[in-house]
Amino acid sequence: MNSQYHDIINTFEQFASWEDRYRFLMKAGKNLADFPDKYRTEQNLVQGCESQVWLHIEISNDELKCFADADARIVKGLLFILLTPLNGLNAKQIATFDLNGYFEQLALIKHLSPSRGNGLLSIANTIQQTAHKLSE
Amino acid sequence: MTMTQEMEPTSSTIFTEDELNAHQAFRHAFPFFRNNAELTYLDNAATTQKPQGMIDAIADYYANYNANVHRASHQVADKSTRAYEKAREDVRHFINAPSSKEIIWTKGTTESINLVAQSLAFSRYFRQGDEILVSALEHHANFVSWQQLCKKLKLKLVIAPVNAQGIDLNACLALINNKTKLVAISHVSNVLGSIQPINAIINKARLHKALTLVDGAQAIAHLPVDVQKLDCDFYAFSAHKVYGPTGLGVLYGKSEILNALTPYQYGGEMVSNVSTDDACFSELPHKFEAGTPNIADVIGLGATLNFIQAQDKTALALYEKKLYLALYQGLASIPGVKLQGSEKGTSAISFTVCDWHVQDIAELLSQMGFAVRVGTHCAQPLMQVLDTEKGTIRVSLCAYNTYAEIQALINALQSLEDFV
């Protein structure tokens, strides 16, 4: 696992309140890799989000690289949280990564619930399904 | 103590004793607030909470006299039919309709509007090139229904312009002419909370012999509605927005118009005589109510309306008006808040905050225990006019909300900067 992932886990362990977690989320999106303008297309716009969210997956051999962006800060922070542990993993590892356990550990699990309007669950599913197909 | 602290308004300086008493008695009737002490519910434009009397009436019906209505001569059916038809009379009284035959049960405002649209189409009321007038602030239910009908029948959808306060009346009146066959306008905007100038619009429409439909979804819990005074041809609302059950709506229509219309749904309950070749439809209101109706919720709405009628309605209305003003002024005092609408609105207020995405505000408010709405509120044409395509935050109150809740919301919005 990469060092940013461990940083996230360690940082969240020290958070005592939801306010701390949300202050982090509000700023964390800045650390997301730049979203290339060529990927900012209608096709990459994630359906069912209350804010605008884009996802693009670059595939080469059995590697996938995910780019995501959002115009709302908290969702963007959540995208950073979501993508960080997947960086550097191969397709099979991404497909089997326990995202629920990870979000549970950060006390952010409700953001992966189907009732949320932020589309995080559908993004997580798209990435893992793509990785699954690639590793078959 | 400084002067400003001394002059800080409190619940007892804003409201009279009568108003506070009426509010407290009203709030007390809603178990939701006792069961959700941590929550501040300010999403009343989406749905209102339910009084205990409504909950009891529905349980009582199912537990003690559940039977299909109008079908059987047995005693339980007699009791359920009487309770069911009594509720129709309660609605008639509530909106001052001339006859309970003019009260048609639907599943909500949306179905009420679609019933009118489809029945007019079935009755061949429109001719190619006719015009239907709506406004740019309509909820999608009162917009898309007519837009799609226009596409299907090759009619012209004319859209009255709006500004941040509501419908531009002069511009709207200028669009009504002899080609206008129907005018469909909301009584109160679900986004701005502004009360629309429907009297003037209905009067002009009548001069040109156009039918008028009022979408009353956001008015029914907040304004006295008198369909005879309004003299509209149709008035539509949902039970769940006036403290009643979900899945039930009302369509009021003038009997001479309803009698002339062909129903668009067919089945049991709505026919008097059926042969293999043809069918005779029942009298009003049953000809528009195909199938077994939503009996329990009709009875629940009856109980709700009886509960409302037993309140001090004048004091409650004054209380709600003052609470709205306090909310408006409180929001206006926060740096960066851009309000839509005006302080003359009712229940709902929409706003955005400079440099903030509405989604982030909604997320933080939700964490703090506030139930407000974020988004485009099923009114995307209006969002384009207001230049708020990302949506707005909508706060909507009722007479059961408290001044303390409004203050807590203002404080919460002021604390947003702590998260940046």
Give how far A90 is from chain B: nearest CA, Å: 33
A74 contacts B363? CB cut-off 8 A: yes
Residues (pLDDT < 50) of chain B are: 1-2
Backbone angles phi, psi at B103, to 5 degrees: -105, 115
b/e per residue, B215-225, with b = 16+ CB within 10 A?
bbbbbbbbeeb
Identity of the highest mean pLDDT range in A67-71, A90-94, B407-411: B407-411
Backbone angles phi, psi at B154, to 5 degrees: 60, 45
At a CB cut-off of 8 Å and minimum separation 6, what does B68 contact?
A: B77, B80, B292, B295
- Assess B380–A contact: CB distance below 8 Å, yes or no: no
Helix (H, G, I), strand (E, B) or coil at B181: strand
At a CB cut-off of 8 Å and minimum separation 6, what does A5 contact?
A: A84, A85, A87
- Assess A136–B contact: CB distance below 8 Å, yes or no: no
A22 contacts B367? CB cut-off 8 A: yes
Residue B270's pLDDT is what?
Answer: 84
Give the domain ranges of chain A: 3-135
Kindly provide the ipTM of the predicted complex, given to two decimals: 0.91
Bridge partners, B160 (sequence order): B135
Report domain B3-50+312-412's class: alpha beta
Domain B55-309, CATH:
3.40.640.10
Bridge partners, B183 (sequence order): B133, B212
Residue A5: pLDDT band with limits 50, 70, 90: confident
Catalytic residues of B: 378
| Residue in chain B lying closest to A48 (CA) | B375
Residue type for B13, please?
Answer: T
| Residue in chain B lying closest to A72 (CA) | B357
Report whether pLDDT(A130) > 60.
Answer: yes
Domain A3-135, CATH:
3.90.1010.10
pTM of the model: 0.92
Cα–Cα dist B343/B326, whole Å: 9
User: Which of A18, A71, A75 is facing B367, going by the closest CB pair?
Assistant: A18
Which residues from B are below 8 Å from A71, CB to CB?
A: 357, 390
- Assess B259–A contact: CB distance below 8 Å, yes or no: no
∠ CA B378-B187-B285, rounded to 5° = 95
Angle between helices A73-83 and B358-367 (to 10 degrees): 80
A18 contacts B419? CB cut-off 8 A: no
Which residues from A are below 8 Å from B420, CB to CB?
A: 26
A22 contacts B390? CB cut-off 8 A: no
Give the domain ranges of chain B: 3-50+312-412, 55-309
User: Which of A18, A23, A51 is facing B359, going by the closest CB pair?
Assistant: A51
Contact in structure between B302 and B239 (CB atoms under 8 Å):
no
Between A118-122, A128-132, B261-265, B408-412, the lowest mean confidence (pLDDT) is in A118-122
| Residue in chain B lying closest to A73 (CA) | B360
Q: Of A28, A49, A78, A79, which one is the catalytic site residue?
A: A49
Helix (H, G, I), strand (E, B) or coil at B103: strand
B418 contacts A19? CB cut-off 8 A: yes
Residue type for A54, please?
Answer: W
At a CB cut-off of 8 Å and minimum separation 6, what does A62 contact?
A: A90, A91, A92, A134, A135
Residue type for B315, please?
Answer: A
Mean pLDDT value of segment A29-53 = 88
Residue B6's pLDDT is what?
Answer: 54
Percent of chain B with pLDDT over 90: 85
Give how far A74 is from chain B: nearest CA, Å: 6
Which residues from B are below 8 Å from A51, CB to CB?
A: 357, 359, 390
Cα–Cα dist B233/B119, whole Å: 14
Residue type for B316, please?
Answer: L
If you search the block for the tokens 């979000």, which residue do you land on? A103
For residue B134, the number of C-alpha atoms closer than 13 Å in the C-beta half-sphere is: 26
Cα–Cα dist B50/B65, whole Å: 22
If you search the block for the tokens 């009321």, which residue do you land on? B125
A50 contacts B375? CB cut-off 8 A: yes
- Where does residue B322 rank: exposed (0-12), middle (13-18), buried (19+ CB within 10 A)? middle
B418 contacts A18? CB cut-off 8 A: no
- Assess A73–B contact: CB distance below 8 Å, yes or no: yes
Which residues from B are below 8 Å from A24, CB to CB?
A: none
Tens of pLDDT, residues B3-43? 555 567 888 899 999 999 999 999 999 999 999 999 999 99
Residue B401's pLDDT is what?
Answer: 98
Q: Which residue of B353, B356, B363 is the best one to mutate when testing the A interface, meaning the one whose CB has the most A CBs within 10 A?
A: B363
Percent of chain B with pLDDT over 70: 98
Q: Is the dihedral of CA B109, B114, B117, B122 positive or negative?
A: negative
Mean pLDDT value of segment A15-39 = 93
Number of cross-chain residue pairs from A and B with Cβ atoms under 8 Å apart: 36
- Decide which of A61 and B286 is more confident: B286
Residue A43 in tokens? 């096709």
Rg of the Cα trace of chain A? 14
Cα–Cα dist B93/B225, whole Å: 10
